[in-house]
Every structure is written in structure tokens, then in C-alpha cells.
Amino acid sequence: MKKTKVIYWITTLLAMLTGASSAFMYFTSPKFIEGYRHLGFPDYFRIELGIAKIIGMLILLLPFIPSRIKEWAYVGFGITFISGIIAHSIVDGPGLGFVPMVPLVFLVISYIYFHKLRNA
């Protein structure tokens, strides 16, 4: 049980640090703002995604949030990371398309261990 918890928390934190922490940069970093324009997305989408990532991050990291809500946060992050892989691959080539795959792998492992903890 302890090993399961450790794996769950490490992978959840890594998924949030590598994928969701960028949400704060969407509001403050000129490089990230220009990156969104480079991908062809409008500014309002960057703001929406930043807010959604911050909310999702809180949902996954706060232990008192109900499991059913956490499930939807996992879905949202999964869609976001897969969309990032597609967008970067099409615009910048497969090399940069690989980058969002890292948080996606952490997210999948986190999700598997989330269910292991829930069913234990």
C-alpha cells in the first residue's frame, strides 16, 4: 500500500510539474504567449487553458476532492496533452511533438495508481 501511494504521488506531482505548471506561464511569459500564436491558437484559448489547468491541478493534488471529479480532471489533462502532441507535431515536427508525451506518461501512471489506491 505504501509503495502504491508513493508511486501515485510521485507520478501525479511529475505530471503536474511537467505539464500543468505551464499554466502559470500562459499568463506571464511572453515566450509562452508567442508560442500559442505560433501554433495558431487565439489568445482567449491560452487563457481558458491556463485557468482549466490550474483548476485541474488543484483537483488532482488536493486529497479531499471526490474521486468522480478527479476522474474528469484526468480526462481533461489527457485530452490536453494529446492535443499538445498533435499540435506541436503538425506545426513544429515530431521532435517537439514528443515533449507533451512526457507528462502524458506520468499522467497515465498516476491514473493507474489512483485506481489501485481507490480499490485497496
Q: What angle do CA 52, 57, 69 make, to 5 degrees?
A: 80
Exposure of 53 by Cβ count < 10 A (0-12 exposed, 13-18 middle, 19+ buried)? buried
pTM of the model: 0.92
| Terminal C-alpha separation, the chain | 8
23 to 2, 8, 29, 67, 119: CA distances (angstroms): 31, 22, 10, 23, 31
pLDDT digits (tens, 9 = 90+) for 71-101: 999 999 999 999 999 999 999 988 888 889 9
Q: What is the reported pLDDT for 60?
A: 96
Q: What pLDDT is attached to residue 80?
A: 95
Binning pLDDT at 50, 70 and 90, where does residue 36 land? confident
Name the residue ranges covered by the structural domains of the chain.
2-119
